[in-house]
Structure 1
Amino acid sequence: MKETGSMTAARLPKIALEEAYEHPDKVARLLADEAALADVSDNGGVTPEFYRPVQEKLGEFGEVRLGSMAAAGIRHTILSLTAPGVQSVADPAAATAEARRQNDFLAEQVARRPDRYSGFAAIALQEPENAAAELRRAITGLGFKGVLVNGYTNIGDSEHGGYLDEPRYHPFWETLAELDVPLYLHPRPSLPGGLGLYAGHPEMKGATWGFGTETASHTVRLLLSGHFDRFPTTKLILGHLGEGLPALLWRTQHMFEDNPFGRRLGKSLPEYVADNIWITTSGNFSDHALVNAVLTVGADHILFSVDYPYSENAGAADWIERAPISELDRRKIAHGNARALFGVDLG
């Protein structure tokens, strides 16, 4: 479908912000090498049959992507490098260089269609001080809306990783607080040492199950480490209607109160979630999950997203337009909250 000058009249205007891309050079290499495609697919917990058409869309920024957006009423998309991105590059200097290359490439795509696209920065936390500098360049120089981090950052090799609550990343968080932009915490598979649970079950380690549990655990580390006391203006975004956390938040708080292991926090976990965490609808088009999220975190902190091209724009749009919520909440989630958080102008 070709994009037209106006959106489908009946469609509710939407902003989407967990929408992936891959550099076309890498897409071409993977599609030309069945073994490489199979390896990347396995690492992400998907089959090559699923991933081939996804790869074809990841490297495309024109008629297909824009047409799909237009048909779904998605007026604006914030693009980000697909997982695992630069977080998986073991060599620190190479990771830093790759983050800069990806950000420059993404800025070029945004510049071609600033009415439709914005960007989240890729950053290489393998070198935290350089990551802070690249974040500053991406926000103040390239005009990006925030940063997306694909889970833990590999340290030295694929067997070891660092999580965002660790002190080594404080310089990065200080810069993020100064710039006052959100961080989107995106999933990736668990470190190899944590994959024993999935032995013989490759279908479990990706988006089917493992992504959500890994990202939820990463978030709980931030919550229980005192991160939000140390950096109280943090704006953290989670996809997939909160990676299961809304349903587990009461129990996590309850059991932490009984077993704090000497930790002392300034607020309860629900209070931190209310003040510091936003969640998106990406890839989780469930009425029950949405209603639970509204009751747990509030409609003001829920944002529409699709997870394109891993999920399709049309299905996400159809769902949010008929979900059993008030029209006021529907409009907040579809575009109002994102406009407030990111300053996106829908024209």
Structure 2
Amino acid sequence: MQLIGIEEHILTPEVLQAWHDLGLEAQDPSVAFHGGPIAGRLMDLAQQRLALMDETGMDMQVLSLTTPMLHDLGAESVDLARRTNDLLAEAIARHPERFQGFATLPVSQPDEAALELERCVKELGFTGTMLCGRVGEHNLDAPFLAPIFQSAARLKAPILLHPRMPSPAVRQAYYSGFHPELDVAFAAFGLGWHYDAGIQFLRLVLSGTFDRLPDLQVILGHWGEVVLFYAERLAAMDRFSRLRRPIADYLRDNLYVTASGMFMPHYLERALAIVGPERLLFSTDFPYQYRSGGDARQFLDTCGLEGEDKAAFAHGNWLRLNRSLTI
């Protein structure tokens, strides 16, 4: 059974250098995570990556620039995004049976980002884009970012909404006071990343983004970035939201959910109950969650899904979503 992972990351030396030139480590300490063996795996778009895919049982990866992407860069990100996307397109052309791509966007320049997304979908054959939370001090529902979401909806290009480090003020208020290493872990992969991504999705819902753009599709990793586990509490906001539909409808109609290497059947069961079998996607969060021993294939075999539902989770839902792209 074909197995496609849709949250699988890359990094380029040029982007890494741009982060360092900006001094981004001072604002976002997760930049330091991209060193050592992880950096080698992120930057490899050839044989080493393919070998690890084979070892874990993955047939195809949908590649995306890792967080924090280009969100903190200014006008210089326009050309950098184009070069990053062209490099990724070249890697896909070398291995079209193994790789697809999410567009890297110059998100601080929304009009240019909308055009770059269109180029990536229509000319490079990419399958959507990835965003990673705030743009500077702005949440994703900020009106000036609307061109990006309008372009994605028009193209029917899904947006993978990826975690990023909370702002320094939030880290100081909620994730500090232990020791530096623990503070960073708590604010990042321990919990902060996931709250941040889930909140960004909910802000899109509550701001009426999906009422204005009903065709817009968003993907949340890590089994819904905590959001799905509080669906009942979220529904209590229906009395005050002034939205056109109950919040539960947006979870079923505008959200896809993927595993991100968190291979836990009881999390899958919760996602299945909220969004349904046609909105589950597979991913391994390579290279961060990579584990040897045929890990991805073993989870597919033991996840509890059978027949058509298993095939949909492994590849069918993603292929169906791709077919809706306006190319």
TM-score w.r.t. length of structure 1: 0.84
Cα displacement (A) at 1:40: 8.4
Structure 2 contact 24–31 (Cα < 8 Å) conserved: no
Q: CA deviation at 1:59?
A: 0.5
Is the contact made by 1:86 and 1:123 (CA closer than 8 Å) also made in structure 2? yes
Secondary structure of residue in 2 paired with 1:18: strand
Counterpart position of 1:85: 69
Indicate yes or no: 2:116 matched with 1:134.
yes
Paired position in structure 2 for 1:328: 308
Supply the AA of the counterpart residue of 2:206.
Answer: L
Equivalent position of 1:276 in the other structure: 254
Asked whether 1:239 is paired with 2:221, we answer: yes
> 2:44 matched to which residue of 1?
60
1:305 matches 2:283: yes
Could you tell me which residue of structure 2 aligns to residue 120 of structure 1? 102
Matched, 1:144 2:126: yes
The Cα shift of 1:26 comes to 5.7
How far off its partner does 1:114 sit?
Answer: 1.1
Equivalent pair of 2:132/2:197 in contact (CA under 8 Å): no
Q: Tell me what 1:198 maps to.
A: 175
Partners of 1:38 and 1:47 within 8 A in 2: no
Give CA deviations for 1:254-294 in whole Å, capped at 9, x if unaligned.
2x145x2xx40111111111111001111311111111111
8 A contact 1:46–1:206 mirrored in 2: no
CA RMSD, 1 decimal:
2.5
1:15 to 2:4 alignment: yes
2:161 is aligned to: 185
Q: How many residues align?
A: 314
- Over 3 Å counting, the alpha-carbon distance change for 1:129 and 1:38 in structure 2 is closer
| CA–CA distance in structure 1, aligned partners of residues 113 and 125 of structure 2 | 16
Name the CA distance, whole Å, in 2 between partners of 1:62 and 1:130: 30
Partner in structure 1 of residue 297 of structure 2: 317
State the SS of the aligned residue for 2:59.
strand
How does the TM-score come out when normalised to structure 2?
A: 0.89
Does the residue aligned with 1:300 lie in a helix, a strand or coil?
A: helix
Q: How far 1:315 moved relative to its partner?
A: 2.1
For 2:296, the aligned partner's letter is: A
State the 4+ residue runs in structure 1 displaced beyond 3 angstroms.
Answer: 24-27, 36-42, 45-48
Once residues 23 and 308 of structure 2 are traced to their aligned partners in structure 1, the CA distance between those partners, rounded to angstroms, is 44
* Contact preservation (8 Å) 2:28, 2:165: no
**Relative contact order, CA 8 A, sep 6+: which one is greater?**
2
Aligned pairs for 1:97-112 (under 5 A) are 97-112=79-94
Please give the secondary structure, in 2, of the residue aligned with 1:118. Answer: strand
Residue type at the aligned position of 1:141: E
Gapped regions of structure 2 (runs ≥ 5): none
Q: Which range moves more in the overlay, 70-79 or 225-234?
A: 70-79
Counterpart residue number, 1:158: none
Q: Determine if contact 2:58/2:296 at 8 Å carries over to the other structure.
A: no
Aligned counterparts of 1:253 and 1:317: Cα–Cα separation in 2: 35
Q: Secondary structure at the match of 2:7?
A: strand
Residue of structure 2 equivalent to 1:9: none
User: What percentage of aligned pairs have identical amino acids?
Assistant: 32
Alpha-carbon distance in 2 for matches of 1:145, 1:316: 22
Q: Which amino acid aligns with 1:150?
A: C
Q: Which amino acid aligns with 1:169?
A: L
Task: Give 1:41 deviation, angstroms.
Answer: 12
Q: Partner amino acid for 1:60?
A: D
Counterpart residue number, 1:295: 273
Q: Which amino acid aligns with 2:216?
A: T
Question: Does the aligned pair in 2 maintain the 1:241–1:279 contact within 8 Å?
Answer: yes
Q: After superposition, what is the alpha-carbon deviation per residue over 1:290-323, rounded to whole angstroms, capped at 9, x for unaligned?
A: 1111111111101000000001163233222211
Q: Per the alignment, do residues 21 and 37 of structure 1 end up closer, same or farther by CA in structure 2, a change over 3 Å counting?
A: farther
Q: Secondary structure at the match of 2:160?
A: strand
Within a 5 Å distance, the mapping from 1:43-58 to structure 2 comes to 43-44=29-30, 51-58=35-42
Quick one: which amino acid aligns to residue 175 of structure 2?
Y
Report how far residue 75 of structure 1 moved.
Answer: 1.7
Pair 1:249–1:54, CA change in 2 (3 A): same
Distance, in Å, in 1 between the alignment partners of 2:43 and 2:77 is: 20
DSSP-derived class of the 2:257 partner: strand
Q: Cα 1:47–1:235, aligned 2, differ >3 Å: closer, same or farther?
A: closer
| In structure 2, C-alpha distance between the alignment counterparts of 1:312 and 1:223, rounded to whole Å | 32
- Cα offset, 1:328, TM superposition: 2.8
